[in-house]
Structure 1
Amino acid sequence: MKVAVIGCTHAGTAAIVNTAKLYPEAEITVYERNDNISFLSCGIALYVGGMVKDPQGLFYSSPEQLAELGVNTKMLHEVVSVDTDRSVLVARNLQTGEEFEDSYDKLIVTTGSWPIVPKFEGSELNNIVLSKNWNHSNTIIEKAEKSRNIVVVGAGYIGVELVEAFQLNGKKVTLIDAEERILSKYLDPEFTDAIEKNLEEHDIKLALGEKVTRFEGENGNVTKVVTSKGEYDADLVIMCIGFRPNTGLLKGQVDMLDNGAIIVDEFMQTSKKNVYAAGDSCAVFYNPTKKHAYIPLATNAVRMGTLVARNLVEPTVSYMGTQGTSGIKIYEDNIAGTGLTEVAAKEAGIDAEAVIINENYRPEFMPTHEPVKLKVVFEKETRRILGAQLMSKADLTQSINTISVCVQNNMKMEQLAFIDFFFQPHYNKPWNFLNTAGLQALPPVPSKEPAHV
């Protein structure tokens, strides 16, 4: 079996390693256009902030390790075209310019995503950079050392983590986003309001509800970011607006969402036989809405890549879908979320309700008993749990994984109320705060007393 893999980060590495172990006789060739593989891009902010002392820890595989598994890894090779009807691809050696054709029996597409980069006036100025790969992270660190005013455009996870890292390193930081709230895809206002206040208390300037219109500069270097509402001095600009799937190679050959994300079935196969896909290049089945959605997360990628290998010869293990579960630490706050926010549920046309719990996570007689804020969103008619968000100074984020399982299994609020959780004063109360959320959402019992017989 001749297997070709395009791209080697989270999903690609998982697919390659598992394919090599499951099918030792397979001839596996990997095409990677970068000079490195398996970079953990979610660690960029930690690297920039100086928390990661050994950057090699941000790589979880290498061409040498893959070679030990019998994999032929072609670094600095870009696949320029794919013909899925003929089962051939054309690749270019980026060092020599040579192009050549290769055939395959099975094709695994793990081409990932690429940052969205709008063409603003002044975009060609120096010191306007992206935050996606290993080379980007080194560029950011190098340029940040010489910068005083740093502007980050995009208030998603990467943008928020970067502004914290820059502020901790003594920089003057501005965070710009066209949305009215930071992290608006992941959290409802009850949480984002508190996080925004925290960032501002750390002297981070928030420019929300503002669209970048242009960049200004002197001597070829950026000096200012101009928005629809203001101007901000900048020696360095990091663009973190979002990502789009990198799937041009298969355009018109397989089914995709409108944004180009490849649609795969439960066994990771595309609409074309013998062509599989995984990771940020794909749409995922999103359990809260029961529809395909684009949710580029490393966790989705490694699961999907592993499933590609398991299902490469015949359908074996099906994908259970995702809740888009994620977490972030901002200063002392531990934050996590899964599934739909209340805002997102209503935007999706779902009649949703929510309960909010504000209580100490363990008994007050304990030396410390930090408060926890928990919000659980559920469908009004069916009472099916749709998602949840949590924030606390104590690290209680694993509780969101529990809610993720609840969403996965279509559980209702009544079930959440009475799930069997252990009690021990070091860790929680007799009613775990997850139980408390379910109890608060219990429907009223009938008020009419039964007639006497």
Structure 2
Amino acid sequence: MKVVVLGGVAAGTKIAAKLMRENRGNEVLVLNKGKNISYAGCGLPYYVGHVIEDREQLIVNTPEKYAKLTGVTVMTETEATKVDPEAKKVTAVNLATGQEQTYDYDKLVISVGASPIKPPIEGCDLENVFFVRTPEDAIRIREAVDAGNVKRAVVVGAGYIGLEIAENLKLQGVRPFVLDMAEHALPGFDAEMAEYVEGKLQESGIPVVTKVAVTGIEGDGKVEKVLTSKKAYKADLVVLSAGIRPNTSFLDGIGLEMFKGTILTNGKGETNLPDIYAAGDCAMVHNALTEKAAWSPMGSTANISGRLIAQNMMGADFGYRGVLGTAVCKLPGLNVGRTGLTEAQAEAEGFHPVSVITVVDDKAHYFPGAGAFVIKMIADKDSLRLLGVQVIGAGAVDKVVDIAVTGIMLKGTLTDLADMDLAYAPPFSTAIHPFEHTLNVLMNKINGKFETFTPAEYAAGAAEGYKVVDACLAPSIEGAPYVELTTVEGPVEGLDPEEKLLLVCNKGKRAYLLQNRLKFYGYKNTKVLEGGITFSDVEA
């Protein structure tokens, strides 16, 4: 079988290599616009920060090495310019010579990736204005920083790559500002979780300014200032990380079904045109929870779906189960991870979402290096099906996320996922795993044993009319009556059993224990603030 693969990096090289492993007799040709066919795009911020020292480490495979390993024929600096689905031909141009060539295929794979969005503003071509998409981009940014003349930087885009770039610039002594048009940083996180991270980033010296539009970049040959809808920011360096756009314009008019330039595919990776498949950042997959089309420009999605596509091209009948928007990101002193639907998304999809936020130990509290996770867990109140998890903490947030991914992909309910025999030893976890701990708290909330205001509800004014009761380890809320949990053996002096009481502690646990006691002694109107003062600023 003769297969032409347009594009390399993750999806294209995975499909081509798997096709050759499936049948060494296949004739597989990769046409790649760039010189590098396989590089570590997710590692680029860490090259900028000298976490990854050698540029060679960014190159996963050279064309020559890859060709020898796989048996695939590779042509670099060769850009596809036209596809003829009826004749089954691809036209491409050699970028070095300008020569045009036509290639026949039995099956075609389109994995041409995506390119950074260039904002429609003046100044993007000034010196020291960069994108971050290829190894060459990262190399140029690091060279500019290492030259020693960069004191302040502006990063446009508060997604995962933008924040990672900001962290790594700070590691090199650069003062970064992150700007974004969106309401909050970190797409895929609910607002209160994103706000918490934004506060932590501010404390670490990385201010994030949201709801701001960049209107221009100024400088005399070299960037000096970034203009926005709010104010101007001085900058010696600018990184534009405001999104990507699929490289599919050359496919217009051939009858390929697309959404905003992204190729629609079915569960097998097939497009609407016979014998044409698509994968990677230029293609749509689908959401495993909603079954709706989803764009997942992630190396993990490209590799997983690409492997299945290659097998399907060879006659298998595998359906890709879809994505959940899973992501994890390292930030200064903080890791963040998420999967599934946010609470807002779950409601929009017709679920009856219920959530809880916990602040729980990430390992045995007495073990050196122990910290805490902030976990938001979301489930459907009617079916108890797990819908999503968001995690923030200095520890291994990916463990909590991956447990949630497993549960969601298997359509698990909270009952299904309760009491799992997860790994425990003091250096790794708590005796009841943080995931299980949060699940138990959510079940208590659903069952009415734990009556709360979420941080979002509290911020929206839901606790108006409630008296704040300080249940912290030590008095911590100015002006609020303090109640020491362990002394409560009956009605508490000064607290009326009919009064609306908001119980607040450091993390939420002591307030829950106090609520449990007060209910026993006849208190009818108590609420606990989820996450306590760790997560929310509370005034009496």
User: TM-score category by the smaller chain?
Assistant: over 0.9
Q: Aligned residue for 1:107?
A: 108
Partners in 1 of 2:406 and 2:392 — Cα distance? 19
Partners in 2 of 1:137 and 1:189 — Cα distance? 31
Q: Aligned residue for 2:176?
A: 173
The amino acid across from 2:416 in the alignment is Q
Tell me: higher relative CO, structure 1 or 2? Use CA pairs within 8 A at least 6 residues apart.
Answer: 1
For structure 2, the 5+ residue unaligned runs are 450-540
The amino acid across from 1:143 in the alignment is A
- Report whether the alignment pairs 1:20 with 2:31: no
Contact 2:118 2:124 in 1 (8 A): no
Q: Aligned residue for 2:324?
A: 323
Partners in 1 of 2:154 and 2:448 — Cα distance? 55
- Report whether the alignment pairs 1:131 with 2:95: no
What SS does the corresponding residue of 1:441 show, helix, strand or coil? helix
Q: Aligned residue for 2:358?
A: 357
Which range moved further: 150-159 or 114-123? Answer: 114-123
Q: Aligned residue for 1:248?
A: 249
Q: Aligned residue for 1:159?
A: 162
Contact 1:417 1:436 in 2 (8 A): no
What SS does the corresponding residue of 1:173 show, helix, strand or coil? strand
Aligned length: 444
Q: Aligned residue for 2:452?
A: none
Cα deviation for residue 445 of structure 1 reads 8.7
Which range moved further: 156-165 or 121-130? Answer: 121-130
What SS does the corresponding residue of 1:430 show, helix, strand or coil? coil
Contact 1:354 1:375 in 2 (8 A): yes
For structure 1, the 5+ residue unaligned runs are 447-453
The amino acid across from 2:154 in the alignment is V
State the superposition RMSD in angstroms: 2.0
- Report whether the alignment pairs 1:10 with 2:10: yes
1:91-136 C-alpha deviation (Å, 9 max, x unpaired):
1000110001111011111111111222113333332221101221
Partners in 1 of 2:123 and 2:4 — Cα distance? 40
Cα deviation for residue 365 of structure 1 reads 4.4
Q: Aligned residue for 1:93?
A: 94
Cα deviation for residue 379 of structure 1 reads 2.3
1:158-213 C-alpha deviation (Å, 9 max, x unpaired):
11011111111111211111123211x13223432332222222332332211011
Cα deviation for residue 323 of structure 1 reads 1.2
What SS does the corresponding residue of 1:139 show, helix, strand or coil? helix
The amino acid across from 2:372 in the alignment is P
Cα deviation for residue 434 of structure 1 reads 1.6
Cα deviation for residue 422 of structure 1 reads 4.2
What SS does the corresponding residue of 1:29 show, helix, strand or coil? strand
Contact 2:153 2:175 in 1 (8 A): yes
The amino acid across from 1:32 in the alignment is N
Q: Aligned residue for 1:40?
A: 40
Contact 1:307 1:317 in 2 (8 A): yes
The amino acid across from 2:67 in the alignment is A
Please point out which of 204, 207, 223 is paired with 2:206. Answer: 204
1:5-32 C-alpha deviation (Å, 9 max, x unpaired):
1000011111111112112111111111
Partners in 2 of 1:139 and 1:29 — Cα distance? 31
Matching of residues 11-410 of structure 1 within 5 Å: 11-68=11-68, 69-145=70-146, 146-183=149-186, 185-218=187-220, 220-253=221-254, 255-348=256-349, 350-410=351-411
Which range moved further: 101-110 or 424-433? Answer: 424-433
Which range moved further: 48-57 or 307-316? Answer: 307-316
What SS does the corresponding residue of 1:33 show, helix, strand or coil? coil
What SS does the corresponding residue of 1:124 show, helix, strand or coil? coil
Higher Rg of the two aligned structures: 2
User: Judging changes above 3 Å, is the alpha-carbon distance between structure 1 residues 424 and 221 closer, same or farther for their aligned structure 2 residues?
Assistant: closer
Which range moved further: 426-435 or 336-345? Answer: 426-435
Q: Aligned residue for 1:449?
A: none
User: Judging changes above 3 Å, is the alpha-carbon distance between structure 1 residues 343 and 257 closer, same or farther for their aligned structure 2 residues?
Assistant: farther
Normalising by structure 1, what TM-score? 0.93
Partners in 1 of 2:185 and 2:338 — Cα distance? 14
Partners in 1 of 2:307 and 2:200 — Cα distance? 39
Cα deviation for residue 374 of structure 1 reads 1.2
The amino acid across from 2:105 in the alignment is Y
Partners in 1 of 2:45 and 2:178 — Cα distance? 15
1:274-302 C-alpha deviation (Å, 9 max, x unpaired):
11111111111111222111121110001
1:386-405 C-alpha deviation (Å, 9 max, x unpaired):
11011222224222111001
Partners in 1 of 2:400 and 2:433 — Cα distance? 10
Cα deviation for residue 347 of structure 1 reads 4.8
Contact 2:49 2:169 in 1 (8 A): yes
Aligned-pair identity in percent equals 31
Contact 1:416 1:434 in 2 (8 A): no
Partners in 2 of 1:27 and 1:123 — Cα distance? 42
Cα deviation for residue 255 of structure 1 reads 4.9
